[in-house]
Structure formats: C-alpha cells, structure tokens
C-alpha cells in the first residue's frame, strides 16, 4: 500500500473538465463530507461526455460511490452531509435544483438488484411514473412496459409473467429489470453503482452488452470494481484514490499509458 | 437414575406442566360453563337478556360481546394514527438521538401504568371532558372507555410496527428516491407495502390486549347490561361484567359468568393466534 | 427538502418515450403540492407521536399534585383508615390518618408467592425451550406459552377462584391471588429466559462439555449464569406486570382492612386499595397517594430492569 507521502510530487491533471468536449455534466471542484472535516471525496473536477460510458474505478473506500451519488444527490439521504464545489447539468448547478426533479433527469441503478418486492414486474417498470403521480392510460403503460423490457432484453423472458412479483426472477434478470425501471422514466443520464458485482459472469456480460447498446440514447456513468469491465465497455475512465481523482482520460489511453504511478500500480494489480 | 437423567426429565416436565396449566384453564372454564350451557344452549351467544331476578333468571352474552368488540375496535381506530406515527418516527425518521430515546421511554412508561390508574385518570380527567362535550350525560360509556383503551394500547400497537419499519431494506428506499419520490411517497409506496403485515400484526396483538382489559373499562363504561345502541351509550364488556358481578354470583349466574369468561378466553385466543400467525409468516 | 428549481431540458432524445409523446415533465404546481404534502405528513407525524406522550405527563402530574400531601412515613407503616376517621379528617381539612400498610404487606406476600411459583418454573421451562429449539413438543409448549401470554387477567382471576378459593382455602385468599398472578407472569419469564439463552453462542457450551463437565452442570453453572442479566430483566418485568394488577385480585384475594400474613385468608394489595378508595367517597383523597405509590413502585421496577439489562450484560 503506497503512502501519500511517497506521491508528493504527483502528476496533477489540471482541469479535466476541459478535456471533454461539450460535456453533458460538469463536476467542478466537488468535495463531499458525511459530517465533520473529513471529506470522502476532495476537489474532484471532471466533465462527463454525452452518450458515452464513463467508468469510475478505484480501490474500496476511494470515494467512487460517493462521487456517483453526489451526481444525483442520493448521498443526501445520509444525515449531516455537506459539500463544496458544484455539479453542473448544462449550465445549472444541481445543488440549486429540486432534488426530485433532478433525479428525474439522472437515474440510478444499484449494486444489488432491488426491484420493489411488493410490486409486479409490470408495476416495477412504471414505478417512476406511479411514484411521481404521472397519470398514464392503460395502453401507454402497456407500451412503456413492453418497450422498456425489450430495450433491456427481458421482454421475451417475462412477457407471460408480467404480473408476478419481480423478486422471483434470477439476479441478472432482476438487475435488468432495475435498469428498465430507471430508463423507462427517460433520464438523460443513468448512474450505475457496481451493477454487476452481485451477478455471475453470464449475467454480467449480458448487462455489459446492454450498457454498450444503451449509450446511443443515454449518457452512462458506471462505478466498477472490475478493471477488465471498465476496459471492455467504457469510453472514458476515472481512477480515484483516497477521495481524490487521480487520473481521468480515454479508457484506451489510461489502460495502455497511465500517467500517474498510482494508476499504473492499480491497473497492474499491485493494490486494490 | 443419575443426575443427568433427572435433570433432563425436570426440563421436559416443566414443559408438560405448562401444557397441563393451559389444558387445566380450558377444562375448568368448560366444566364451569356446563350448567349455563345446558340451560341456554347456543342461544346464550345471541340472547340480549341479563336478568338475575329470582324465578325468571335468564342470561345472554350478546350485549357484552358487542360491548367488548365495540370498545376494543373503536380503541384500535383511535390509536391507529398515534401508534403509526410513533412507529414511523422511531423506525424511519429518527432512529438515534435524544428525541427518539425520549419518545421510546415515554412509550415504555405508558405501558407500565397500571390499568386501575388509567381508570382513575379517565374518571377524573376524561369523563368530565366527555360530559362537557355533550357526548354523553355523565361522560361514562363505550366511547370514554375506548379513548382510555386507545392510550393504553399505544405501546403494544407501536412497538412491533417500529421494528418492522426499521427493517425495510435501505436499498428499496434508495430505489424509490432515485426515481424522484418524496419521503412521504417512499413511506406510502415502499415502507407501508413492505412493513404492512408486520404493522398489522402489531395492531392485532394490541386488539387482543384491549379485548381483555378490565379495570379501566370497568371504571368508565357505565356498567349497563342492556344492548348498547351506539358508541356514546353505556355498556359492559365481558371483562367488566365479570369484574362487577363475579364476586357475589351464585348458581346460574355464576356459571353464566364463567361461560362469559370462556367466550372471552376463546376470542382473545383467536385474535392472538391470528397476530402470531402473521408474525410467524414474516420471520419465515 | 428545499424546493429549488426545475432542470432545463438538455437533450432532444430519440428514446421511445419521445416517440410516444408522453411527457415526464412535472409541473411546478404539482411539485409544490407534493412537497407540501410531504411536509404536512412529516410534521403531522411528529405532532401525533409526541401528542401520544401527553397523557403520561397529565397522569404523572395529577398523581404528584394530588398525591404528595398524603405521602409520609405513616402512609407506609399504618393500615388503611376506616370511613368514619377519614370523613372527620376531611371535614376538618386535615390529612387523612393511616396509610396503606395492609396493601403493601399484601402485595409483598401475594407477588412474592407468585414469584416463588413462577420464577423457578419459568426459568426451567425457558431453558427447556432454548435447549430444544426444534423439537415438536417444545414447539407445542412454545405455542402454549404464547397463548397464555394473551389470556386476559380477569379470566385468570376466575381460574384462581375456581382452583383455590372454592376447594382449597374455602374462601378468598392471598394464595388464590398468587396462583392467578403466577400464571400471568410465567410467559414473560419463559420467553425472556429462552431468548437470552438462545443468544449465548454454542461454542461456550461446547467448551464446557469438552472439559468433561456433565450436561446439567454445564447448564446450571455455565449457561444460566451467563444469561443471568437477561433472565433477571425478564423476571423483574414479569413482577412489574403483576404488581399493578387489580382485576384478578378482586376475584381471589378480595381485600382486607388489616395487615394479614396468613396466606389462606383474604388479603389486601396496593392496587386493590386504590379500587377500594375509589369506591368510598370518604377515602377519595387517599387514591392519589396510593396510586402514586403504586406507580413509583412499578416505574422503579422497570428502571431497575433496564439498569440490570445494561450493566450486567455479559460480553461474549
């Protein structure tokens, strides 16, 4: 485990926001604390490219989940959080937006599949509409459910059991259902927090294929523990360490010629 | 026989003794009810008469069964918003800190107050209020008893609810928040559907409590043996009737009261059984 | 949650929802409504939760204000006054002479005897249930204990009357009251013993057994002492549950105006005295102090149960 001391003369990437042309989301000098003076992430700046997959990597506890959650303000569910800096969606600081409206624009998929166990598959897909009190006609609901499930490749598997509970599906199917639930509500950006870490390899590869397919319509930000996953599917990669964004760039570049020594050590499996 | 064996027999026999006590209670109530049952048959359950006048003695349980159900269900309805609020407060909104631990102690203390003290307070504080509001001439009656019962069962109705609400997985709440739900919408669409059966089980067990509660009700219900005509009328519950009349009862009235006790026993048994059944399904 | 502003539309998407011409926009008016609903609900919940505690303070206040005047040494050491004495005292605006000593002694005897019956039986039965977590008969016993917990206290009064008052003591008696109350406190002792013993890790038992200690000694010398705080907490809560009971005693111990230590004779108890004072207009002034005494006794028991649960907790 390298100490911080060793890297005093680290390579600092100035203003990575500039590196992405016309980003859909700009993270500007963001620091987040869960209370007190200790910051889980510090001074992170990055632009997120539109219709691309951006992977956030790093060892456990490096702040990658915190960064992801700060993008749709889910970290605020914990008491005593506070942040410095900002995140801009277009030219608006998301911390000045209404969090409920914000989450409509930025959806989220979680580490463990979490379909609502008291709802059917059908109701899970349209949960975003129901929860927000958007009234739809029956035919509209049917269409949304079918198209969302087709989008995630689940339609043929579940079309006869739509009114069964979602919790009877396999883990991989549940996770695709959760992705369908997030995209049915048409966010601009979908955040995924280690979406395959609880799944077997076959289910994982299905989800990876799905994400690659989805990026034509959505901007995807993915936290992953799995370097080869980031290498396989992401266009851009961030490497975080101890709450700090160490390196950010095109995935191919980062994996072949990392600029920072820590990134290199992480990618070659020296720690993490 | 060695001490090892004796010890094991001792353990088992304590279980046997428990079974015997329970069977003994059931058998005693059954045997005690036989004369009354011979006299009135199943008509006892449906007769509204309670006439101890010698020569034309006639007893029926219906006014007291109705009185019991009316007071306890009304109590449950009154207690619901309060108990549910406490469950949510302790189980979801404020889990740690000074305020919730204060509320938790208050609820514990409410459970510790003896029934007779609740009755006193009801008599001196609540009854005049009910009378002043014009709900009932003297302030006695089913409604007054229900209000006191509602306060008494708050701890029982709220504690199980708080527990199951706190066990609703955080991942489900997060999923709803990430779709843009407000906290109220999370409560309505995620917490209540997921914790509902546990909350319900708590209310059923509280209902069982209310049905068997004696002293406070006896002091406030007005002890009328007529069929109650409404929630502001006087009445009697099965428990309050036994408390009032068992002491000096003889002959037919004595066995009729035991039969009332049997009915009370069976009803609370069924209610508690349903509650436990729901709880068992939850933990499975 | 603060209201904030609505994000602008950024991307013209080609997603199917757009083709379907369904808007996922939420109007400002609707958003405000939802946030208002959320706020009203939260505040209403907090208000109702704390409103539930108000009766407790009203009761405590009433008992303290009206009861403290009578609380003195003689209140604890003297027997309850008769109606005439009390009437004269009230007429002269004096403190009613006498106290509740007959009730205190009666409560001590009745509750003590009930504990003597219920505690050993309850602990043994709880041990049996903990040691036979899966057995069929144990399941039946567990079910019966659960059902016993729900039996209304007045029914147990009837049982005490039929079992003891009629055939054994041929008259109302403290013993009958104790039997009724012992059945009442049994379930809480059994369940707390079982729950406590189940929490003790199996490795502890294995360690003792591997030393060649016989099974019964392992239970008596290792397992039960380890669980003592949990068991004791259950016992005290059981006692506090029966100490305030009035209804079953009305049908069994009946009440007595003098101190009585013979368990085959009628006996008073503090909750019975509250009931008697309530029914006697001349003694009404005494009910507050008697209730206050009873309440303090029960709260004291509850607090000590909590303290024991916290302080004697064995770490494993």
pLDDT tens track of chain B, all 284 residues?
588 889 999 999 999 999 999 999 999 999 999 999 999 999 999 999 999 888 888 999 999 999 999 999 999 999 999 999 999 999 999 988 899 999 999 999 999 999 999 999 999 999 999 999 988 888 999 999 999 999 999 999 999 999 999 999 999 999 999 999 999 999 999 999 999 999 999 999 999 999 999 999 999 999 999 999 999 999 999 999 999 999 888 899 999 999 999 999 999 999 999 999 998 888 76
Is the per-residue pLDDT at A6 higher than 60? Answer: no
User: Which residue in this structure is represented by tokens 């008052």?
Assistant: C165
Asked if residue B227 belongs to a domain, the reply is yes
H or E element in which residue A157 lies: helix A155-158
CA C220 to chain centre: 28
Is the per-residue pLDDT at C8 higher than 80? Answer: no
Is the per-residue pLDDT at A13 higher than 80? Answer: no
- For residue A21, report the phi and psi dihedrals to the nearest 5 degrees: -80, 135
Contact yes or no for C11/A22 (Cβ under 8 A):
no
Round the average pLDDT of chain C to a whole number and report it. Answer: 89
CA C202 to chain centre: 31
Nearest CA in chain C to A134: C24
Residues 6+ apart with CB under 8 A from C165: C171, C172, C173, C176, C251, C252
Residues 6+ apart with CB under 8 A from A140: C20, C22
From chain B, the residues in CB contact with A103 under 8 A are 177-180
Round the average pLDDT of chain A to a whole number and report it. Answer: 88
Contact yes or no for B258/B29 (Cβ under 8 A):
yes
Looking at the DSSP assignment, which residues form a beta bridge with residue A97?
Answer: C5
CA atoms lying within 13 Å on the CB side of residue B16? 6
pLDDT in tens, A79-88: 888 888 999 9
Overall average pLDDT of the A42-59 stretch: 92
From chain A, the residues in CB contact with B189 under 8 A are 116, 127, 130-131
**Alpha carbon distances (Å) from A165 to A128, A168, C316:** 17, 6, 41
Q: Using DSSP, state whether A45 is helix, strand or coil.
A: strand
Q: Is B181 on the interface with A (CB under 8 A)?
A: yes
B178 with A182: Cβ contact below 8 A: yes
Record the tokens describing residue C127, joined without a space: 């041990």
% chain C with pLDDT above 70: 93
Minimum-distance CB partner of C154 among B124, B180, B239: B239
Is the per-residue pLDDT at A2 higher than 70? Answer: no
Q: How confident is the model at residue A16 (pLDDT cuts 50, 70, 90)?
A: low
Angle at alpha carbon of residue A225, lines to A222 and A227, rounded to 5°: 90
Residues 6+ apart with CB under 8 A from A233: A53, A55, A208, A211, A212, A222
Residues 6+ apart with CB under 8 A from C296: none
Contact yes or no for A145/A125 (Cβ under 8 A):
yes
Residue extent(s) of CATH 1.10.3720.10 domains in chain C: 101-311
Q: Is A151 on the interface with C (CB under 8 A)?
A: yes
Q: CB burial class (10 A; 0-12, 13-18, 19+) of residue A158?
A: buried
% chain C with pLDDT above 90: 59
Minimum-distance CB partner of C137 among B6, B15, B239: B15
pLDDT at C90: 81
Q: Which of A33-37, A194-198, C193-197 has the lowest mean pLDDT?
A: A33-37
Is the per-residue pLDDT at C312 higher than 80? Answer: no
Q: How confident is the model at residue A167 (pLDDT cuts 50, 70, 90)?
A: confident
- For residue A53, report the phi and psi dihedrals to the nearest 5 degrees: -100, 120
A100 with C16: Cβ contact below 8 A: no
Give the number of other Cβ atoms within 10 Å of residue C288's Cβ.
24
Give the number of other Cβ atoms within 10 Å of residue C60's Cβ.
16
Neighbours of chain C (3+ CB pairs under 8 A): A, B
Phi-psi region of A200 (alpha: psi -120 to 50; beta: other; left: phi over 0): beta
Overall average pLDDT of the A187-201 stretch: 92
Q: How confident is the model at residue A9 (pLDDT cuts 50, 70, 90)?
A: very low
Q: Give the residue numbers spanning the domain of B102.
A: 63-242+266-283
Interface with chain C: mutation pick from A101, A147, A148, highest number of C CBs within 10 Å: A101
H or E element in which residue A12 lies: none
Q: Is B197 on the interface with C (CB under 8 A)?
A: no
pLDDT at B23: 97
Give the number of other Cβ atoms within 10 Å of residue A215's Cβ.
19
pLDDT at C37: 95
% chain B with pLDDT above 90: 88
pLDDT at C76: 86
- For residue B110, report the phi and psi dihedrals to the nearest 5 degrees: -55, -35
Residues 6+ apart with CB under 8 A from A100: A132, B180, B181, B182, C1, C26, C31, C34, C35
Q: Is A131 on the interface with C (CB under 8 A)?
A: no
Rg (CA), chain B: 23
From chain B, the residues in CB contact with C191 under 8 A are none
Residues 6+ apart with CB under 8 A from B180: A100, A101, A103, A104, A128, A131, A132, A185, C26
B212 with C246: Cβ contact below 8 A: no
How many cross-chain Cβ pairs, B to C, lie less than 8 Å apart?
241
Is the per-residue pLDDT at A12 higher than 90? Answer: no
Sign of the four-CA dihedral B172, B176, B177, B178: positive
- For residue A223, report the phi and psi dihedrals to the nearest 5 degrees: -90, 130
pLDDT at C216: 86
Asked if residue B12 belongs to a domain, the reply is no
Asked if residue B170 belongs to a domain, the reply is yes
pLDDT at A4: 43
H or E element in which residue B212 lies: helix B192-212
Q: Using DSSP, state whether A85 is helix, strand or coil.
A: strand
Is the per-residue pLDDT at C2 higher than 60? Answer: no
Give the number of other Cβ atoms within 10 Å of residue B73's Cβ.
14
pLDDT at A3: 42
Which superfamily does C101-311 belong to?
MetI-like (1.10.3720.10)
pLDDT in tens, C256-300: 988 999 999 999 999 999 999 999 888 888 899 999 999 999 999
* Domain harbouring B156, CATH code: 1.10.3720.10
Asked if residue B258 belongs to a domain, the reply is no
Is the per-residue pLDDT at C107 higher than 90? Answer: yes
Contact yes or no for C185/C265 (Cβ under 8 A):
no
CA atoms lying within 13 Å on the CB side of residue B174? 21
Judging by DSSP bridges, how do beta strands B58-59 and B50-51 pair with one another?
antiparallel
Asked if residue B88 belongs to a domain, the reply is yes
pLDDT at A272: 61
Record the tokens describing residue B267, joined without a space: 């009803």
Residue B233 to residue B193: CA distance in whole angstroms: 37
A114 with B180: Cβ contact below 8 A: no
DSSP character string of chain C: ----BPPPP-----SHHHHHT------HHHHHHHHHHHHHHHHHHHHHHHHTTHHHHHHHHHHHHHHGGG-SHHHHHSPPPPHHHHHHHHHTT-PPP--SHHHHHHHHHHHHHHHHHHHHHHHHHHHHHHHTSS-HHHHHHHHHHHHHHTS-HHHHHHHHIIIIITTTSSS--HHHHHHHHHHHHHHHHHHHHHHHHHHS-HHHHHHHHHTT--HHHIIIIIIHHHTHHHHHHHHHHHHHHHHT--HHHHTTTB--SS----TTS-B--HHHHHHHHHH-GGGHHHHHHHHHHHHHHHHHHHHHHHHHHHHSPPP-
Record the tokens describing residue A208, joined without a space: 């990876």
From chain B, the residues in CB contact with A132 under 8 A are 179-181, 185
Give the number of other Cβ atoms within 10 Å of residue A209's Cβ.
13
pLDDT in tens, C33-78: 999 999 999 999 999 999 999 999 999 999 999 988 888 888 888 8
Q: How confident is the model at residue A1 (pLDDT cuts 50, 70, 90)?
A: very low
Nearest CA in chain B to A119: B193
Q: How far is B181 from chain A (nearest CA, A)?
A: 6
pLDDT at C15: 63
Residue C47 to residue C28: CA distance in whole angstroms: 28
Residue B126 to residue C297: CA distance in whole angstroms: 25
Asked if residue B3 belongs to a domain, the reply is no
Phi-psi region of A51 (alpha: psi -120 to 50; beta: other; left: phi over 0): left
Nearest CA in chain B to C220: B7
Q: Is B175 on the interface with A (CB under 8 A)?
A: yes
- For residue C10, report the phi and psi dihedrals to the nearest 5 degrees: -105, -50
Q: How far is C54 from chain A (nearest CA, A)?
A: 29
Among B191, B160, B161, B162, smallest CA distance to B174 is for: B191
A97 with C6: Cβ contact below 8 A: yes
C147 with B10: Cβ contact below 8 A: no
Judging by DSSP bridges, how do beta strands A53-57 and A39-48 pair with one another?
unpaired
Asked if residue B23 belongs to a domain, the reply is no
- Produce one character per residue of A9-30: b if its CB has 16 or more CB atoms within 10 Å, e if not: ebeebeebbebbeebbbbbbeb
From chain C, the residues in CB contact with A90 under 8 A are 7-8, 10
Residue B99 to residue B87: CA distance in whole angstroms: 14
Residue B88 to residue B95: CA distance in whole angstroms: 9
Is the per-residue pLDDT at A10 higher than 60? Answer: no
Structural domain tally of chain B? 1
First to last CA, chain C: 43
pLDDT at A80: 86
Contact yes or no for B120/C274 (Cβ under 8 A):
yes
From chain C, the residues in CB contact with B272 under 8 A are 146-147, 149-150
Is the per-residue pLDDT at A231 higher than 80? Answer: yes
First to last CA, chain B: 41
Going along chain A from its start, the domains and CATH numbers come out as 5-267 (3.40.50.300)
Asked if residue B255 belongs to a domain, the reply is no
Record the tokens describing residue A153, joined without a space: 């490749």
pLDDT at A8: 40
Contact yes or no for A88/C10 (Cβ under 8 A):
no
Rg (CA), chain A: 19
Is the per-residue pLDDT at C244 higher than 70? Answer: yes
Residue B235 to residue B241: CA distance in whole angstroms: 9
């Amino acid at each position: 485990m390298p100490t911080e001391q060793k890297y005093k003369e680290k390579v600092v990437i100035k203003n990575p926001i500039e590196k992405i042309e016309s980003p859909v989301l700009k993270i500007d000098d963001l620091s987040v604390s869960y209370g007190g003076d200790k910051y889980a992430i510090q001074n992170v700046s990055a632009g997120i490219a539109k219709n691309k997959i951006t992977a956030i990597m790093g060892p456990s506890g490096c702040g990658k989940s915190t960064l992801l959650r700060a993008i749709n303000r889910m970290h605020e569910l914990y008491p005593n959080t506070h942040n410095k800096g900002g995140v801009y969606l277009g030219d608006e600081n998301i911390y000045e937006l209404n969090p409920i409206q914000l989450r409509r624009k930025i959806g989220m998929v979680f580490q463990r599949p979490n379909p609502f166990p008291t709802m059917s598959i059908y109701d899970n897909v349209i949960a975003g509409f129901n929860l927000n009190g958007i009234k739809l006609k029956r035919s509209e609901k049917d269409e949304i459910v079918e198209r969302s499930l087709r989008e995630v490749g689940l339609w043929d598997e579940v079309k006869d059991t739509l009114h069964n509970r979602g919790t009877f599906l396999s883990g991989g199917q549940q996770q695709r259902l959760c992705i369908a639930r997030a995209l049915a509500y048409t966010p601009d950006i979908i955040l995924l927090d280690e979406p395959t870490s609880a799944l077997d390899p076959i289910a994982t590869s299905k989800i990876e294929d799905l994400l690659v397919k989805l990026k034509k319509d959505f901007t995807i930000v993915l936290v992953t523990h799995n370097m080869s996953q980031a290498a396989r599917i992401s266009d851009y990669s961030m490497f975080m360490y101890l709450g700090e964004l160490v390196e950010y760039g095109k995935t191919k570049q980062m994996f072949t010629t990392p600029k920072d020594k820590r990134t290199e050590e992480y990618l070659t499996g020296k720690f993490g | 026989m060695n001490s090892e064996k004796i010890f094991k027999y001792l353990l088992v026999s304590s279980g046997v003794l428990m079974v015997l006590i329970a069977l003994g209670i059931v058998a005693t109530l059954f045997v005690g009810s036989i004369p009354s049952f011979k006299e009135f048959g199943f008509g006892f359950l449906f007769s509204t008469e309670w006439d101890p006048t010698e020569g034309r003695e006639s007893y029926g349980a219906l006014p007291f069964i109705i009185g019991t159900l009316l007071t306890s269900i009304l109590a449950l309805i009154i207690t619901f918003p309060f108990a549910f609020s406490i469950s949510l407060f302790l189980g979801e909104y404020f889990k740690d800190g000074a305020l919730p631990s204060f509320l938790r102690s208050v609820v514990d203390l409410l459970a510790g107050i003896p029934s007779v003290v609740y009755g006193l307070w009801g008599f001196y504080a609540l009854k005049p209020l009910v009378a002043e509001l014009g709900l009932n001439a003297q302030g006695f009656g089913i409604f007054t008893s229900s209000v006191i019962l509602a306060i008494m069962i708050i701890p029982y109705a709220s504690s199980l609810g708080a527990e199951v609400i706190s066990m609703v997985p955080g991942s489900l709440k997060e999923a709803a928040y990430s779709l843009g739900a407000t906290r109220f919408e999370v409560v309505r669409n995620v917490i209540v559907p997921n914790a509902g059966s546990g909350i319900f089980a708590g209310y059923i067990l509280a209902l069982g409590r209310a049905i068997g509660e004696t002293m406070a009700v006896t002091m406030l219900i007005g002890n009328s043996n007529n069929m109650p005509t409404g929630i502001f009328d006087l009445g009697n519950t099965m428990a309050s009737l036994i408390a009032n009349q068992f002491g000096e009862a003889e002959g037919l009235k004595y066995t009729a009261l035991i039969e009332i006790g049997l009915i009370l026993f069976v009803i609370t048994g069924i209610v508690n059984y349903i509650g436990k059944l729901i709880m068992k399904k939850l933990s499975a | 949650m603060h209201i904030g502003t609505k994000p602008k539309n950024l991307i013209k998407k080609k997603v199917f929802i757009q083709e379907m011409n369904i808007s996922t926009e939420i109007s400002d008016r609707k958003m405000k409504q939802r946030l208002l609903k959320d706020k009203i609900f939260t505040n209403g919940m907090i208000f109702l939760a704390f409103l539930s505690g108000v009766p407790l303070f009203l009761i405590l206040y009433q008992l303290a204000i009206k009861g403290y005047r009578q609380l003195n040494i003689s209140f604890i050491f003297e027997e309850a006054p008769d109606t005439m004495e009390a009437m004269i005292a009230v007429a002269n605006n004096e403190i009613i002479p006498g106290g509740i000593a007959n009730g205190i002694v009666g409560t001590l005897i009745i509750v003590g005897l009930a504990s003597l019956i219920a505690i050993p039986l309850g602990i043994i039965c709880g041990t049996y249930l903990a040691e036979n977590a899966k057995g069929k008969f144990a399941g039946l016993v567990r079910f019966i204990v659960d059902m016993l917990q729900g039996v209304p206290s007045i029914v147990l009064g009837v049982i005490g009357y039929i079992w003891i008052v009629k055939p054994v003591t041929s008259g109302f008696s403290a013993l009958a009251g104790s039997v009724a109350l012992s059945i009442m406190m049994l379930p809480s002792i059994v369940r707390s013993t079982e729950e406590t013993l189940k929490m003790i890790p199996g490795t502890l038992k294995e360690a003792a057994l591997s030393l060649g200690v016989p099974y019964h000694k392992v239970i008596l010398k290792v397992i039960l002492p380890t669980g003592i705080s949990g068991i004791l907490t259950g016992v005290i809560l059981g006692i506090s549950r029966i100490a305030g009971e009035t209804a079953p005693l009305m049908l069994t111990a009946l009440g007595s105006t003098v101190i009585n230590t013979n368990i085959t004779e009628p006996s008073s108890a503090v909750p019975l005295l509250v009931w008697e004072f309530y029914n006697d207009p001349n003694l009404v002034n005494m009910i507050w102090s008697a209730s206050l005494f009873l309440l303090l006794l029960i709260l004291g028991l509850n607090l000590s149960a909590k303290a024991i649960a916290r302080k004697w907790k064995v770490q494993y």
